[in-house]
Amino acid sequence: MLFHTSCKSKERLVGKTVIITGANTGIGKETARDLYRRGARVILACRDVQKADATAKEVKSNPPSQPNKEQFQGEPGEVLVYQLDLCSLASVRNCAKDIYKKESAVNILINNAGMVIESFGKTEDGFETQLQTNYLGHFLFTLLLLPKIRASGPGCRIINVSSLAHHYGDIHFDDLNLENSYTMKEAYCQSKLANVLFTVELTRRLKEANIDGITTYSVHPGMVKTDISRNIHSYLLRIMQVVLTPFAPLFVKTSEQGAQTTIYCAVAQECSKESGLYYKDCAVANLTNKVNDTELIAKLWNETMKMVRLEQENNLEELLKKIEKNVLQSVDDTLKNSEKVIPPSNI
C-alpha cells in the first residue's frame, strides 16, 4: 500500500504475556512477530496446533521487515502454542483452563481470529459459524480470562479486531443465526458490530465495578491481503480478485501493515489511558451511532451471556468472582485426576 501508518512506539514488553487468537496466519502472525521481538511471552491460541507450531518456528527465525528498529533491540521473548477452536465453546473453556493452570499472568489479550464464509453453516454449539468464530467465542474467552487479566495488572489491555464493516451491521435479535436471511455480508457485518458493542459494554461494566488497570480497544486493520476469505468461492468474487490484483499495492495492505494498529493498541503509551474506543491507522476513529443505544448494547450482552452459558450477573465484580471460582475449581479437578495413582493389583 502506498500510504499506511506504522506504529512508532519503542516500548519493550519484557516480562509481559500476550495471547493472540488466530495467530498462525495473516495479521495475527505479524502481530506475534512484532511483540515477540519486543521481548514478550507470546501465546499463539489457534485451532490447528500443527500449523501454529510451524508459525512459532517461523516467527522465531524471521524478524520483522525492519529488524534494526529500537523496539527490537535486546533479547526476544518466547513463543508458545495453545489449542483453541472458537467454533467449540468447550474448546474455549478448556483453553482458558489451561492458561490458568500454566500461566502466571495475562497482560494483553488480542482477539484477532476471524473468518468470512460464503455459505451458511453452524458450529457444534448450534450457532452460525461467523457469529461464533468472530464474536461468541471471543466473548466467552475474554470473560473467562478476565479474572486472570485483572490479577496481572495494572496496565493490561484487551484488543478486539473488528472491521469498518461494523458500520453496515445490525444485530438481528429475532434471528441471530440468520437462518431465515443469511448472506455472507450480513453475517460478517453483524459479527463485527457485535465485537465493537462488546468492547464498549465491557469498558462500561469495568468502570461501573471500579475495576481499574484494564483498557479495551476495537480495531479496524484496513483492507489486508490475508487468507481470511479462503472460504469464499463465488465466481464473481474470484473474477474481481483477478481484475484488482494488479492494483492491489495501491490500496491493499500487507499483513505486516495491517497489524500496525493492533500493535499500536497493544504497546503505545499514548492510548494507555483511553478505553472502549475504536482505532484505525493507529488513531482513534469514528464508531457507528449504535454505540449510543444503551438498550441495544445491554440486550446484546444479556443474549450473549445466555448463548455462551454464563450465569447472568448485573455486577461485573460478582460475575468475575463466580467465573474465577468455577475455572479454578475445574483446574483443581483436572490436577487431582492427573495425580491419581492406580494401586497395584493383588496377584
CB distance 269 to 10 below 8 Å: no
Of the candidates 36, 100, 135, 188, the residue annotated as catalytic is 188
Distance from C-alpha of 331 to C-alpha of 97, rounded to nearest angstrom? 6
What pLDDT is stored for residue 224 in this prediction?
78
Question: CA neighbours within 13 Å on the CB side: how many for 343?
Answer: 3
What pLDDT is stored for residue 247 in this prediction?
46
What pLDDT is stored for residue 332 in this prediction?
81
Backbone φ and ψ for 116, nearest 5 degrees, come out as: -125, 130
For 278-290, give the secondary structure using H, E and C: EEECCEECCCCHH
Chain center to CA of 323: 19
Nearest to 33 by CA among 254, 199, 275: 254
CB distance 225 to 255 below 8 Å: yes
Q: In angstroms, what is the C-alpha Rg of the chain?
A: 20
Residue 128, pLDDT > 70, answer: yes
| Predicted confidence band of residue 337 (pLDDT cuts 50, 70, 90) | confident
For domain 17-332, the CATH architecture is 3-Layer(aba) Sandwich (3.40)
Model confidence pLDDT, tens digit, residues 265-297: 999 999 998 999 999 999 999 999 999 999 999
Model confidence pLDDT, tens digit, residues 50-66: 999 999 999 999 999 99
DSSP string, 309-337: T----SSHHHHHHHHHHHHHHHHHHHHHH
Model confidence pLDDT, tens digit, residues 172-191: 999 999 999 999 999 999 99
The fraction of the chain above a pLDDT of 70, given in percent, is 88
pTM recorded for the entire structure: 0.91
Backbone φ and ψ for 159, nearest 5 degrees, come out as: -120, 120
Residue 202, pLDDT > 70, answer: yes
> What is the number of other CB atoms lying within 10 angstroms of the CB of residue 303?
14
Strand residues in the chain grouped as ranges (E) = 17-21, 41-46, 78-83, 108-111, 156-161, 214-220, 277-280, 283-284
Residue 134, pLDDT > 60, answer: yes
Quick check: is 188 catalytic?
Answer: yes
Question: Is the pLDDT higher at 313 or at 233?
Answer: 313
Residue 263, pLDDT > 80, answer: yes
| Predicted confidence band of residue 342 (pLDDT cuts 50, 70, 90) | very low
Query: What is the mean pLDDT of the segment spanning 155-170?
Result: 96
Residue 235, pLDDT > 50, answer: no
Distance from C-alpha of 81 to C-alpha of 95, rounded to nearest angstrom? 11
SS3 content of the chain, % helix, strand, coil (to 5): 50, 15, 40
What pLDDT is stored for residue 330 in this prediction?
87
